[in-house]
Chains A and B, each alone.
Chain A
Amino acid sequence: MSYGTNGTILRVDLTTGSISTDSFDEGFYRRYPGGKALAAYHLLTEFRPGGDPLGPENVLILAAGLLTGAPISTATRFNAIARSPLTGGFGESEAGGYWGPELKMAGLDAIVITGRSPDPVWLWVKDGAAEVRDARHLWGKDPAAVQAAIRDELDDRMVRVLQIGRAGEHGVRYAMLMNDLRHYNGRTGMGAVMGSKNLRAIAVRGGRRYTDLAHDPATLAELGRRLARQVPEHAQAWDLRTKGTPGLTDGQNAGGILPTRNFRQGSFERVDEINLAAYLGLRSGTRSCYACAVRCKPEMAFSDRYTVSSAYDGPEYEAVAGFGSDCAIGDLQAVARANELCNELGLDVISTAGTIAFAMECFEHGLIGPGDTDGLELRFGSTDALLEMVVRIGERSGFGDLLAQGSRRAAEAIGGDAPLFAMHVKGQELPMHDPRGKVGVGLGYATNEAGADHLVGFHDPLFAKADSVPFRSVADLGITEPTSVLDLGEKKTRIWHTSERWNSAEKVLGLCFFGPAPRSMIQVADVVTAVRAATGWDVTIEELLEVGERAVNMARVFNVREGFTRADDRLPERLFNPLENGALAGTAIPREAFEQALTDLYLLKGWDPVTGAPTGERLRALGLEWTAALPSPGSATAAVSGAGADR
C-alpha cells in the first residue's frame, strides 16, 4: 500500500480464539481513512443492534488515524470505539502516546475484537501476526506491574502495551484504557468493554516506518522537519510545554467558569491552592508523545502529605478542576493522588470526579447519609472521603459499586432530587468547562453522540476576536466572522458546525487537537499537505471536512438505531439556572435560544429537527445510503441482556 495505510485490519474473536486479517481497497479508505471513520464503519456493520455493551457481542475497535505514525508533531492518536456501557450509545475515546503509531508500524490500521475469552488473556501483536496469551497471572495487578511483566515475557523494553486496570476488570462503566501507563482513552467506558472480554492488555511491536506507507515520503519528511522547527517556537506550544493544560485553572476561575461544587458555582474560593503556581510547585518534568515537538505531558512525583510517583501521567486540567474545585478540594497534593489512583485503577478522571461531586451534593442535601456510604462523610471539601471513594469505585466495593454505574444510574437509584444533581449528557459526566460561559461548548455537549465531551468543536473564546491568532488560523475553513462567547444565533451554529466537522476530521486523521488550527501550531494547509503526501490523493479542505462529517453521521446513525432521539440531546437542567458566584454570577443558558440553536444546527447538518436523525438526503450526499439497509433492533434475532442494554 502507498496511501498512508496498511490496508489491513486484524480480527480477533476471543470466544473461539480465532485470529484473521481483512483487507480493504483504496476506494474504501478514501471514504473511511482511519480512526473514528474506520472504527465507526466496523461498529455499524458488525455490532448487532441492541447488543449488550458488556456482553461478548460488543465489538471493540482500536483504529489508528490515517496520519498516525507520520513523522509530524501531534500525529499520534488512535480511537477506541464500541457501544458504550456508560451511555448505551456510540462509545469513543482517543489517546496519543506511542501505541497508535506502533500499530501502524506493525502493519495494521485497526484491531476488531469480538467475543469473550473464558479466561483472562492478553494479545501479542507483532508485524501483522497475533497470538492470544494467558493473563491469569496478570489479572488484578497494577498496570505498572502488568506492563513490566509483559515486557519481561517478551524480553523487549520497547513493546507498547495498551491495557485496562482493575476498574476495567470489574466493569466500572467509565473504566479507561491506557498505553505506556501515561496516555489514556478516558471516556465512555472502553476499559469496561475490554475487561468484559477478559482481555487485559494488547502489546504491539512493528518494524515498519510510516514513510514506507506514504505516497510521497520526501514531502512528508520535509513537512515533518519544518514543523519540528516551527512548533516549539509557537506561543501555544510554549504554553503547553511550560505550563500544560493546568494553565487554564486561573483563567477559568477569573472568567467565572471554573466548575465548582458540582457546577453550582463558577469560582472557587481556594483556587490559589490548586492553581498553576501550586501545580508548577509539584510538577517534576514533561514528556512527549511519538514524534511530537510540543512535549506537554506532565510528570509529577512527590512525597509529602500524600505520595505520588512518576509511574503515571500527572494531573491535567480536567483532573485539577474535577477533583479540585468541582469537589471543593483546595489541596493539589490530594488532587494529584486522586488522579494517580484513577490511573492505577484504570478510571476515567472526568467521570470519576463528576460522579463523586454528584454524590457529595446528594450527601449535603441529605439524600444519602453515612448509612449509605459505608460511614464516609462524603461532603464537599473532604479529601479523605474523596480518596477513599475513588478506590471504592475502582474496586466496586460498598457504595462505590453504585457510583461505578455513573451519575445517571446512581441518581435513578437514589431517587428524589438526585437526578437534578447528576451533571451528565446521555449518561456521560460533563468535562470541566461550564457552557454558561461558552455556549457553543454546550451545543457540543448536548449533540455529541458519545455524550458530554469538550473536544467536539472549538471553544467559543477561540473565535470571539477577529484579530486573534486562533481566529485567523481558521479562515481556511471558511470561518471569517467572529461572534461572542454567549451568542446562540446563526453565526454561532455555523461556526460550530464547521468546527465539529474539522475536529472530527482530526479524529479520523489521528491528529491531536492541540496541534492544528485553531491552536494553529499546524496550519490547515499543512494538514492538507500531509494528507496529500501520505495518500497521493488530491484532497481539498472540503473533502477533509466531509470525511469528518461522515464519521459524525455514522455515529449518529448508530445512536438512532439504539433508540436515541433529539430528546437525548439535552443539557443538565442546572445549566439553565444561574451560576451562584464568580464573574458570571446570575448567568444561565437561555433555554429557548438554546433549543432554537439546536434546531438551526440540525438543519445545517441535514438532520431532522424533530427526531435528530440524519435525513436520507444527507446520508446519500455523504455516501452513507448503505446504512439504511443495516438491521434495526427490531430485526435482531438474539435477546438483549444485561443492565447495560437498557436503552
Chain B
Amino acid sequence: MEVHLGGHLGFYDREKRSRFRVHLDREMALVDLIRELGVPEAEIDLAAVNLSLVSLDDARVGDGDRLDLYPPMGGGA
C-alpha cells in the first residue's frame, strides 16, 4: 500500500521517508500499522484512507489502500 507521512511524521521513519510503499499480507487495524511504522500515535492529528478522513480508533487498512497521516498543524510563514 501507499503511505504518506505528512509534516514532521516522516522524521519517525527509520529512513526519514515521507512517501513509500509497504506490503500488507492481510487487512489490519490502522493503529497496528502505525505502531509498526514507528510513528507516535500522539503526533497524528489526521488520518485519511483513500483520501477520506478516518478515526484512528476503528479504521482498518489493506494492501491496495492509500494512507495519508498528518501531524497537528500550526501556522505558516
Q: Report which A residues bind B (CB closer than 8 A).
A: 235-236, 238-239, 242-243, 245-248, 250-252, 254-255, 276-277, 296, 316-318, 321, 431-433, 454-455, 458-459, 461-462, 464-470, 513-514, 518-519, 583
Alpha-carbon distance between A432 and B71 when the two chains are bound, in angstroms: 18
Q: Are A468 and B72 in contact (CB under 8 A)?
A: yes
Q: Report which B residues bind A (CB closer than 8 A).
A: 4, 6-8, 10-12, 16, 18-19, 40-43, 45-46, 48, 51, 53, 68, 70-77
Q: Are B77 and A467 in contact (CB under 8 A)?
A: no
Once A462-B74, A513-B75 are accepted as A-B contacts, the answer to whether A250 and B6 lie under 8 Å apart by CB is yes
Q: Are A455 and B68 in contact (CB under 8 A)?
A: no
Q: Are B77 and A245 in contact (CB under 8 A)?
A: yes
Q: In whole Å, how far is B4's beta carbon from the nearest beta carbon of chain A?
A: 8
Q: In whole Å, how far is B25's beta carbon from the nearest beta carbon of chain A?
A: 27
Give chain B residues whose Cβ lies under 8 Å from the Cβ of A431: 75-76
Give chain B residues whose Cβ lies under 8 Å from the Cβ of A469: 42-43
Q: In whole Å, how far is B18's beta carbon from the nearest beta carbon of chain A?
A: 8
Give chain A residues whose Cβ lies under 8 Å from the Cβ of B76: 245-246, 248, 316-318, 321, 431-433, 454
Once A236-B8, A251-B7 are accepted as A-B contacts, the answer to whether A461 and B74 lie under 8 Å apart by CB is yes
Give chain B residues whose Cβ lies under 8 Å from the Cβ of A432: 76
**Closest chain B residue to A472 by CB distance?**
B42
Give chain A residues whose Cβ lies under 8 Å from the Cβ of B71: 251
Give chain A residues whose Cβ lies under 8 Å from the Cβ of B72: 459, 461-462, 464-465, 468, 470
Once A254-B53, A461-B45, A469-B43 are accepted as A-B contacts, the answer to whether A239 and B77 lie under 8 Å apart by CB is no
Selected from A239, A513, A514, the residue in CB contact (under 8 A) with B7 is A239
Give chain A residues whose Cβ lies under 8 Å from the Cβ of B42: 465-469
Q: In whole Å, how far is B54's beta carbon from the nearest beta carbon of chain A?
A: 11
Alpha-carbon distance between A466 and B16 when the two chains are bound, in angstroms: 25
Q: Are A254 and B68 in contact (CB under 8 A)?
A: yes
* 5 A-B contact pairs sorted by A residue (CB < 8 Å): A250-B68, A254-B68, A431-B75, A465-B45, A467-B41
Q: Are A316 and B45 in contact (CB under 8 A)?
A: no
Give chain B residues whose Cβ lies under 8 Å from the Cβ of A317: 76-77
Give chain B residues whose Cβ lies under 8 Å from the Cβ of A513: 74-75
Q: Which 4 A-B pairs have the closest CB atoms?
A: A317-B76, A467-B42, A461-B72, A239-B8
Q: Are A519 and B74 in contact (CB under 8 A)?
A: yes
Q: Are B7 and A247 in contact (CB under 8 A)?
A: yes
Give chain A residues whose Cβ lies under 8 Å from the Cβ of B74: 458-459, 461-462, 470, 513, 518-519
Alpha-carbon distance between A458 and B72 when the two chains are bound, in angstroms: 11
Which of B43, B51, B68: most chain A CB closer than 10 A? Answer: B43
Give chain A residues whose Cβ lies under 8 Å from the Cβ of B77: 245, 296, 316-318, 514
13 A-B pairs besides A276-B6, A433-B76 with CB distance below 8 A are A235-B43, A238-B10, A242-B16, A243-B18, A250-B4, A251-B45, A251-B70, A252-B73, A254-B46, A462-B74, A467-B40, A513-B75, A514-B77
Give chain A residues whose Cβ lies under 8 Å from the Cβ of B70: 250-251, 254-255
Selected from A239, A276, A454, A470, the residue in CB contact (under 8 A) with B11 is A239
Selected from B6, B7, B19, B45, the residue in CB contact (under 8 A) with A464 is B45
**Closest chain A residue to B42 by CB distance?**
A467
Alpha-carbon distance between A442 and B46 when the two chains are bound, in angstroms: 21
Q: In whole Å, how far is A340's beta carbon from the nearest beta carbon of chain B?
A: 16
Alpha-carbon distance between A519 and B75 when the two chains are bound, in angstroms: 10
Selected from A238, A318, A458, A583, the residue in CB contact (under 8 A) with B16 is A238
Q: Are B7 and A248 in contact (CB under 8 A)?
A: yes
Alpha-carbon distance between A501 and B4 when the two chains are bound, in angstroms: 36
Alpha-carbon distance between A614 and B51 when the two chains are bound, in angstroms: 47
Give chain B residues whose Cβ lies under 8 Å from the Cβ of A464: 45, 72
Q: Are A248 and B73 in contact (CB under 8 A)?
A: yes
Q: In whole Å, how far is A528's beta carbon from the nearest beta carbon of chain B?
A: 22
Give chain B residues whose Cβ lies under 8 Å from the Cβ of A583: 53
Q: In whole Å, how far is B52's beta carbon from the nearest beta carbon of chain A?
A: 8
Q: Are B8 and A238 in contact (CB under 8 A)?
A: yes
Alpha-carbon distance between A247 and B42 when the two chains are bound, in angstroms: 19
Q: Are B8 and A468 in contact (CB under 8 A)?
A: no
Q: Are B75 and A433 in contact (CB under 8 A)?
A: yes
Give chain B residues whose Cβ lies under 8 Å from the Cβ of A252: 73
Alpha-carbon distance between A321 and B76 when the two chains are bound, in angstroms: 10
Give chain B residues whose Cβ lies under 8 Å from the Cβ of A514: 77
Give chain B residues whose Cβ lies under 8 Å from the Cβ of A247: 6-7
Give chain B residues whose Cβ lies under 8 Å from the Cβ of A468: 42-43, 72
**Closest chain B residue to A503 by CB distance?**
B75
Give chain B residues whose Cβ lies under 8 Å from the Cβ of A461: 45, 72-74
Alpha-carbon distance between A285 and B56 when the two chains are bound, in angstroms: 35
Q: Are A251 and B75 in contact (CB under 8 A)?
A: no
Alpha-carbon distance between A466 and B11 when the two chains are bound, in angstroms: 20
Alpha-carbon distance between A251 and B18 when the two chains are bound, in angstroms: 13
Give chain A residues whose Cβ lies under 8 Å from the Cβ of B51: 254
**Closest chain B residue to A233 by CB distance?**
B11
Alpha-carbon distance between A461 and B12 when the two chains are bound, in angstroms: 19
Give chain A residues whose Cβ lies under 8 Å from the Cβ of B43: 235, 468-469
Which of B6, B71, B74: most chain A CB closer than 10 A? Answer: B74
Q: In whole Å, how far is A8's beta carbon from the nearest beta carbon of chain B?
A: 31
